[in-house]
Structure 1
Amino acid sequence: MASDVFELSASGQAHPRYAGMSIEEIEKSIRQDFTYFNWRTPAEKVRVFRQPLPISGDIFAPGRQRMVTSYDLTEEQFRAIAGTEPSLPSARPEEGEEEGEKTLRVHKKSERSAKLVAAFKASLNSYACVVCHFDFEKAYGALGAQFIECHHTKPISEMTPGDKTKISDLCAVCSNCHRMLHRSNPILAPGALRKLMRGASR
């Protein structure tokens, strides 16, 4: 870490290049080094052995990326390293991440009125998005019938106790537009998002 290098430099135990540098300068230098020395190994150069290969802990010289210790290899291991008998297909296997762990979260949530949302949707003559005019029923048939999201033009998070939301404070938006409205801070007005879309399509 930059803070470690800074302390070592102050006591004269780090490389002279860091002498007199601030922590910010040291961090910037380290980041540049990592970018420059970002070694990549092509998949076809990787070798997999049937049994683990015992490698001595002192195979690298301290502070240098250079092998200084030799060790015994079988002929099969040597040939695999030399590339005469590749033991790994050129196509790299797809990696995955484990998901699905159950967690319990406790957090504050601004409650929305299900009754108000239901009344708002019942008042609609059209279920098309007021921003992009996407209609779920036209796109998905019966599955999308009467499906639309309800957007609060006045964010609930900004409301104080006693404030009330009226149906006129709500508007019908598709899922995509709803996410885009909330992506900026402060949130965009539907008309502003519609103008952005028109500009992007030119």
Structure 2
Amino acid sequence: MAVDVFELAKINQVAHRYMNQTLTQIENSIRSDFVYFRWAVPKDRIVVFRESLPIPPNIFEPGRQRMVTSYNLSEEQFRAITKLGADASGREGERSEEEGARRLRLHWAIERKPQLVAAFKASLTSFACTVCGFDFERTYKERGIGFIECHHTKPVAEIRPGEKTRLSDLRAVCSNCHQMLHRKPMLTVEELRDVVEGK
């Protein structure tokens, strides 16, 4: 720190009391100052880097002392650097992003008929998943009564205009299995059941 102050004194970038002092005098001044002055830094602002980081020149300008330019960091630059390190307790820095912005989008929607889904659920004698057997009521009690997702054995995107979907084209599946059925490459209910059963 004394070396930094000594170099900054050459370009008039330090407090007047450090001007025209030798390196030893500056070091002694800093030692005495620190008896009275301490920098209080909140724990969440302390970052530990496990290895050296290449700092982009637009953040710390080459040839300028870090004591000057470190104060010139924008909040965005500070966050960008601290995300690369761990906090004072050694935990890796937690990533955070702003979400929830409102954006208007216009797109084609593939229409589903809620009346068909309601009729399908009304026809069920069991609300257990036909792939893995998971039962929402058994796990979530009253909150899970009558809850199950409706899977189209023929993807809705492949249904042509005028083509009709029958109740027999639908399957009762839990949310996890529904996601797995639609993951590429898509599987049939029977194929996914084989996966779950380890066949």
TM-score after normalising by structure 2:
0.57
Alpha-carbon contact 2:48-2:88 (below 8 Å) kept: no
Q: Which runs of 5+ in 2 are unaligned?
A: 1-46, 53-58, 71-86
Letter in 2 for 1:195: D
Displacement, 1:184?
A: 2.1
C-alpha distance in 1 between matches for 2:66 and 2:166: 78
Tell me the residue number matched to 1:198.
197
Alpha-carbon contact 1:148-1:174 (below 8 Å) kept: yes
- Identity, % of aligned pairs? 49
C-alpha distance in 2 between matches for 1:126 and 1:45: 57
Residue by residue over 1:103-157, the C-alpha shift from the partner in whole angstroms, topping out at 9 and shown as x without a partner, is 1121111111100000000000000000000000000000000000000001111
Q: Residues 44 and 167 from structure 1, CA distance in 2 versus in 1: closer, same or farther, beyond 3 angstroms?
A: closer
Structure 1's consecutive aligned runs of 4 or more residues displaced over 4 angstroms after TM superposition are 71-74
Displacement, 1:165?
A: 0.3
Q: Residues 89 and 129 from structure 1, CA distance in 2 versus in 1: closer, same or farther, beyond 3 angstroms?
A: closer
Displacement, 1:93?
A: 4.5
Give the CA RMSD over aligned residues.
2.8
Letter in 2 for 1:192: E
Q: Residues 117 and 42 from structure 1, CA distance in 2 versus in 1: closer, same or farther, beyond 3 angstroms?
A: same
Q: Which runs of 5+ in 1 are unaligned?
A: 1-40, 47-53, 60-68, 78-87
Structure with greater Cα Rg: 2
Structure 2 residue 186 is the aligned partner of structure 1 residue 180 = no
C-alpha distance in 2 between matches for 1:162 and 1:199: 39
Alpha-carbon contact 1:131-1:191 (below 8 Å) kept: yes
Letter in 2 for 1:199: G
Tell me the residue number matched to 2:112.
112
Alignment of 1:1-202 (within 5 A): 43=49, 57=61, 59=62, 69=63, 89=88, 91=90, 93-185=93-185, 187-199=186-198
Tell me the residue number matched to 2:83.
none
Displacement, 1:166?
A: 0.4
Alpha-carbon contact 1:149-1:174 (below 8 Å) kept: yes
C-alpha distance in 2 between matches for 1:158 and 1:198: 29
- Residue range with higher mean Cα deviation, 145-154 or 103-112: 103-112
Alpha-carbon contact 2:153-2:188 (below 8 Å) kept: yes
Residue by residue over 1:52-103, the C-alpha shift from the partner in whole angstroms, topping out at 9 and shown as x without a partner, is xx96x5x3xxxxxxxxx5x5677xx9xxxxxxxxxx8463543311111111
Report SS of the residue matched to 1:172: strand
TM-score after normalising by structure 1:
0.56
Q: Residues 134 and 89 from structure 1, CA distance in 2 versus in 1: closer, same or farther, beyond 3 angstroms?
A: closer
Alpha-carbon contact 1:44-1:89 (below 8 Å) kept: no
Say how many residue pairs are matched.
Answer: 128
